[in-house]
Structures are given as structure tokens and as C-alpha cells.
Amino acid sequence: MHFASPYYLWLLTLLVPMIGYYVWRTLQGGASIQISSVAGVVRAPRTVRYYLRHLPFALRAAAFALLVVALARPQDVEQNVRTNTEGIDIMLAIDVSGSMLARDFKPDRITAAKEVAGSFIADRYGDRIGLVAFAGEAFTQSPLTTDQSTLQTLLARIRSGLIEDGTAIGNGLATAINRLRESDAKSKVIILLTDGVNNQGQIAPMTAAEIAKAQGIRVYTIGVGTEGMAPYPAIDMFGNLTFVNQKVEIDEKVLKAISDMTGGRYFRATDKEKLKAVYDEINQLEKSKIEVMEHISYHELFLTWALAALGLLFTEFLLSNLVLKRIP
């Protein structure tokens, strides 16, 4: 709460002499009559009125304090902060091939990738972000948008098995580039995550990289997978899902060449913690420029305090003249 005229609050110091005078006057006593003995009066039971005799003054003092606060004009402050972002348009291209179900990440690669990507999206307030999923072919899961709620929902729906299996890195990159082609943002970025080697698709990865470079798009590539062997999903002779240890193969040479050509960087993530560190580093490398405009609104609250003071004065008036009326 903010006070527009705080100097009026000094009037609250008047409560000290008011209370002092009341105590002094009470000790002096009021009207008196002469009686032969006070013994009977002393033994007389004390009623509720006796214990409430100081209440009118307390109400009057509280009403005075509330009126002083009302004079100081209490205000509710509402701050509206507007941000103008020098937009960065980001496309996330995520591999959803069957190998992304490998269990070297907990619980598996694709779930870990989605969780970390979700945290990355939440940190990019003001930027437009889109999603591309690719395996044997590629499709757009979400166009560029600032609607984080919808984006998180669509990210959660990405899963392995949505499209033909395989790893079409070139197609995934080209689909993301196509979504950024008409963007007028000053910075355009693609984060491509895969766990394999390009083995399908109509567009070669380096051809897509050349297009990205021509469009002024930086590409950060991430290879996910532990070093050595990892448990990959497989179907046994009875049609049941099982896991078989296989050698992890990631075409790091191609991924690094893509990032080098476009001005990005290549990262290798061997577990979920390192994958999160990769996204955190990219988050720092691609900081948005934000211009903040602050608008402050004040809402007057003095009427509430003034009405409360009047309510206390009215209560004091009723008590003094009806319940606690006394001879002067």
C-alpha cells in the first residue's frame, strides 16, 4: 500500500496526549455524592457496563487514527510492465524415430528430450517457437507461436511411431527452414536433436544446411546417446517389445558440419543432465533484447478507511448514549 500524502500520518502522534489526558481525567474522577460509608459499594458486584466503561474512548481514538490514515490517502499500486522483444524465432526439430525409445536416458531418450525442451520453451518468454518432428519423413507439429500453453501441449503429444521410421535429418532441417523462410525476425534459430545417422529422406543434410546459411538461420545440432552401447527397443519373435544392447551411432561429423556452416554449434548429450546443460547454454547464447516500459496505476482507498472511522464513531455514539449513559 502506498500513501499519497504520508505527512498527515504525523497526526497520529496526537494520540499520545489524547490518551494521557483521558487517563488523567479518569483518575480525577467525575461527579460525586457524599455517603456515610463506601463499604457496601466496594462489595457490590461489577456489571458488564463497568468493564466496558473505557470502550467509547477506545473507539473514538481508533476512529481518529483511521481518519488520519484516510487523510494520508492510501492507494493500491498496480504496476503494468510491457516488454518489447527483439524477437528470436526458434524452431525445435526433434527426432522421433524408434531409436529414440532407447533407455540410456531416463525413462527414455524421447521423453527426456521433451521434458528438457519444455523447460527451454518456458524460459523463452516473448520469443516465437515452433516444433518439427521427423523420423523417416518430417512434419510440422506447431508453427511459430508465442502461445506457450498450446506449444507445451503439442510438445507433449510428440511420440515415436507417429510417422514412418528412419532418420531423415535433411528433411527435418528443411521443414524447419521452411517455417522460418518468411520470418522477419532479426534472429532465426533451429535446434535440431537426433540420435542417429541420416538414412532416409529426399534432401541431404548438407544441402539443407546450405539453404539455412543462405537464409541467415543459425542451426544448433544436438546428438543424444550415451558412449558405447545402449539398450534399443526391438520386437521379439512373439511380437513383444524387448530391448537389445546395440552400439550407439551418431553422425557427429555431419551434425558438426551443419552447425559450423550456419554459425551455430554442435553439442553431444550423453544423459538427461547434460542435455539440460546444452539447452541452458543455447538459452544463454540466444538471449532476446528486451525493452521494458512500466506503467503504474494508483487506486484510491481512503473511502474505505473513512467509512470505517465513521462506523466506529457511530458505534461510540450508540454506546455512550444508550448502553453506557452516565450522569455527568
| DSSP code per residue over 224-281 | E--SSEEEEEEE-TTS-EEEEEEE----HHHHHHHHHHHT--EEEESSHHHHHHHHHH
Quick one: pLDDT at residue 290? 55
Domain ranges of the chain: 2-78+299-323, 88-287
Cell numbers of 168, please?
A: 531423415
pLDDT of residue 36: 60
**pLDDT by 10s per residue, the chain, length 328:** 778 888 888 888 888 888 888 888 877 765 555 666 555 555 656 666 666 777 888 888 898 898 988 888 888 877 666 655 567 899 999 999 999 999 999 899 999 999 999 999 999 887 899 999 999 999 999 999 989 999 999 999 999 988 899 999 999 999 999 999 888 888 899 999 999 899 999 999 999 999 999 999 999 999 999 988 999 888 888 888 888 999 999 999 999 999 999 999 999 999 999 999 999 999 988 876 655 566 677 778 888 888 988 998 888 888 877 766 665 5
From the CB of residue 108, how many other CB atoms can be counted at a distance below 10 Å? 17
What local confidence, expressed as pLDDT, does residue 46 receive?
Answer: 63
pTM higher than the cut 0.75: no
* Rg, the chain, Cα only: 37
pLDDT for 250 equals 94
pLDDT at position 131 is: 97
pLDDT at 326: 60
DSSP 108-161: -HHHHHHHHHHHHHHH-TT-EEEEEEESSSEEEEEEEES-HHHHHHHHHT--TT
Task: Give the pLDDT score at 121.
Answer: 94
Q: CA dist 233 to 101, 194, 210, 242, Å?
A: 6, 16, 34, 6
- Topology (CATH level 3) of domain 88-287: Rossmann fold (3.40.50)
